[in-house]
Structure 1
Amino acid sequence: MSAKDVLTRAAELSGIDAAGAVCIREGSNAIYELTDGIVARVGKPGSVAAAVREIRISEWLNQSGIPTVEVVTAATQPIVVDDRPVTWWRLIPDHRAATPEELGATLRALHALPPPSTFELPTYDPFAGIEERVTGATTINQDDRSWLAGHCAELEKRYGELPVTAPMAVIHGDAWQGNVVVPASGIPIVLDLDMVSIGLREWDLIQLAVDYVDFERISGDEYRAFVAAYGGIDVTRWPGFRTLADIQELRWTAFSLSVAQTRQTAAAEACHRVACLRGAVPRPWRWSAL
C-alpha cells in the first residue's frame, strides 16, 4: 500500500477526516496536513515501536518543560495499517525555522534533562542505515560504492576512538534549524522526535557547525550566537570535530543515494555529494536540498 492509502485507512479507523490531505514531506516518514489542525505521520514498515516511543517522548518533553510538537490525545495512537504506524499530531501554524541562537538555547535545555524514568531511550548510532544505502545504490558506479564503504569503515574506527569529554546525554539526533520551529508566540518548539536518544552532546552541535565551516550557509556572527546560547562550547574546537563532521556528511550523502533510486534530480545531486566527499570539489560545498 502507498503512504496515502495507509493514511486513508488509518483515518477511517480513527474517525478522522483525511479528505484533501496535503503531503508536506515524503521520506522515511510521510507527513500529511489534514483539516482540523491535524498532521498525520505515516511511518515506514516495521516502525511501530519507534512510533510508540515518539509519542512517549513528546509527552515527556512537554512535561519536562521543553515545548515539543503535541499528539492529538483524542485519537488512538498509533493506528497500524500494513505494518506501518500512523500517528496524529497537532498542527503548528504560521511558524518559521529557529535562528542559530534559538537552536543553541533549545539544545542546551534538552541536554540538561535527565533521561526519562518511565521508558528507555536507545543509544544513538550515527552509522545506522548507511551501509544498506551505499550497497543498494544503483545510481553510482562500483568504484564509488567501494570507496564509500571503505570511508564508512574508517569513520567507524575513528568514531570508536573519540575523546569522551562528558557523560552521554539526551540528544535530539537530527538537530538542525528546521527541527526547532518558532510560531507567533516566539517560543521554540521541537519537532521530529524519531532520533531522540542517548548520545554524545557534540552530535547535536555538529550540523550547524558543518553548515558554518564546510558549507558557509550561516555567517560567523550567527555561529557565534549559537555557541553563546549553548553555553560557550564551540564544537569546531573539539578534537573529534572532523570525525563527526565527516560522519554527518556521509549520512547526508547516503540519504541522497536512497532518494536517487526514484528521482533523477536526486541522482545528479548524489553524484555531486560523492565527488565532494572524495575530494574532487573544494569547500565550501553547495548541496541542494532533497
Structure 2
Amino acid sequence: MSDVDTGLVMSGDPGDVLTSAGRKAGVPTAEAALIRDGTNVIYQLAGGVVARVGPPGSQLVAARQIQASRWLADVGIPVVRAVDDIDQPTVVGNRPVTWWVQLPVHRHASPAELGAVLGHLHALEVPESPSFPVVDPFEGLRESIDGGTVLPEDDRAWLRDLASRLHREYSALVPGLPRCVIHGDAWQGNVVVPRAGGTPVLLDLDHIGIGLREWDLVSLAVDYTDFARITDSDYQAFVDAYGGYDMTAWHGYRTLATIKELRWTAFVLGKAKTSTEAAQQVQHRVACLRGEIEPPWWWSAF
C-alpha cells in the first residue's frame, strides 16, 4: 500500500477507504453517492455498482457475504449479487469493501412474500462448503449493556440479569431442535421486490449462518404480538406462505421474542451516548421490558 493509501486508511473516513479500494479493484468511485451511513457505509457508483464499506475488522464477515450470495444464487434463491469480475472483498487497512450489482427500484416485501422466501431458505440442505457459523443470538449483547453508561446502573444490572435468564432458557430450548441455514436478520426490509414486478430478492447477508428457523421468524411475530404493526390477516398470510408453522404457538416463543426485543434495545443503547433522542428511546424500551408499559408498544426506528 502506498503512503497515500496509508494516510487515507488512517483518516478513518469511509469515503477515503472507498477511494483507495476503488483504485485497488479498478472500480471508478469519483461519482459515488452516499446511500446509507450505518454499520456498513453504502455508496451508489456509476455503472450500476453498489459499494459497501464494512466496519473495521469485519473482513471475515464481508468474505462470508460474498460466499453466501454466490451459494444462494447457485441453489436457486434470488439474492443480491456480488460483482463477479472483482476479487472480493477489497481490503484497505482493516476495512473491507464489497461490490454489488445495483437492484432495480424496489419496495419492502409483504409479510406473505417474506414468509415464502424464508420457507425456501430454511428448506435448503446445510452445505459443507461454504461453511457458515452457528448464529448466536447473544453475541455482543453483554458488551453492549456494559458499555451503555447513559443508563443508570440499576437498569443495566436488570438488563444483565434478563440476558442471563434468557440465555438459560434458550440453552434449554436448543437441544433437539433442528437447525438450518438462516438469514439471521430477517425482516421485511431485507427482502425486496422490484416495483416493475418480479421475484423477491434477499438482501443484507451479514448475519447468515446456521441456527433455529425460529430466529428468522421471530421478528415479524414480535411485530404482530407486541407492537401491533401487523394485522391478523397479514400475519396469517406470513404463516401460510411459510408453510403453516406459527411460532407464536410454540412454548419457546416468549423467550426468543424477549431476546429479540433486548437486542433491539441494546442496539439503540449503543447510539445513546451521542444522541439525546436515542437516550430517551432506550429508557422507554427498558421501561417496556420491565413491564412498566403495557403492549402494544411503540418504539421509534433507528
Shared fold, TM over 0.5: yes
Query: CA separation in 2, counterparts of 1:165 and 1:224?
Result: 27
Query: CA separation in 2, counterparts of 1:138 and 1:199?
Result: 31
3-state DSSP of counterpart to 1:259? coil
The residue type equivalent to 1:180 in the other structure is V
Query: CA separation in 2, counterparts of 1:70 and 1:59?
Result: 7
Quote the offset at 1:233 in angstroms.
Answer: 0.3
Kindly indicate whether residue 164 of structure 2 is the aligned counterpart of residue 153 of structure 1: yes
Runs (4+) of structure 1 exceeding 4 A deviation are 163-166
Query: CA separation in 2, counterparts of 1:55 and 1:10?
Result: 16
- Selected match of 2:110 from 99, 107, 120: 99
Number of equivalenced pairs: 290
* TM-score normalised over the length of structure 2: 0.93
Q: Which residue of 2 aligns with 1:226?
A: 238
Q: Which residue of 1 aligns with 2:83?
A: 72
Greater mean alpha carbon deviation, residues 156-165 or residues 55-64: 156-165
Quote the offset at 1:24 in angstroms.
Answer: 2.4
Query: CA separation in 2, counterparts of 1:271 and 1:20?
Result: 41
Q: Which residue of 2 aligns with 1:90?
A: 101
Greater mean alpha carbon deviation, residues 85-94 or residues 160-169: 160-169
The 5 Å alignment of 1:205-284 reads 205-284=217-296
Kindly indicate whether residue 156 of structure 2 is the aligned counterpart of residue 136 of structure 1: no
Q: Calculate the aligned-residue CA RMSD, in Å.
A: 1.3
- Selected match of 1:190 from 202, 225, 231: 202
Q: Is contact 1:163–1:239 with CA below 8 Å preserved after alignment?
A: no
Quote the offset at 1:164 in angstroms.
Answer: 5.4
The residue type equivalent to 2:300 in the other structure is S
CA 1:117–1:185: 2 relative to 1, 3 Å = farther
CA 1:261–1:32: 2 relative to 1, 3 Å = farther
Structure 1: runs of 5 or more not aligned = none
CA 1:134–1:163: 2 relative to 1, 3 Å = closer
The residue type equivalent to 1:63 in the other structure is D
Greater mean alpha carbon deviation, residues 217-226 or residues 76-85: 76-85
Q: Which residue of 2 aligns with 1:115?
A: 126
* Cα deviation code 1:151-198 (max 9, x no counterpart): 111110110111656411111111100000001232000001111111
3-state DSSP of counterpart to 1:116? coil
Q: Is contact 2:50–2:100 with CA below 8 Å preserved after alignment?
A: yes
Quote the offset at 1:36 in angstroms.
Answer: 1.6
Query: CA separation in 2, counterparts of 1:215 and 1:51?
Result: 33
Q: Is contact 2:49–2:102 with CA below 8 Å preserved after alignment?
A: yes
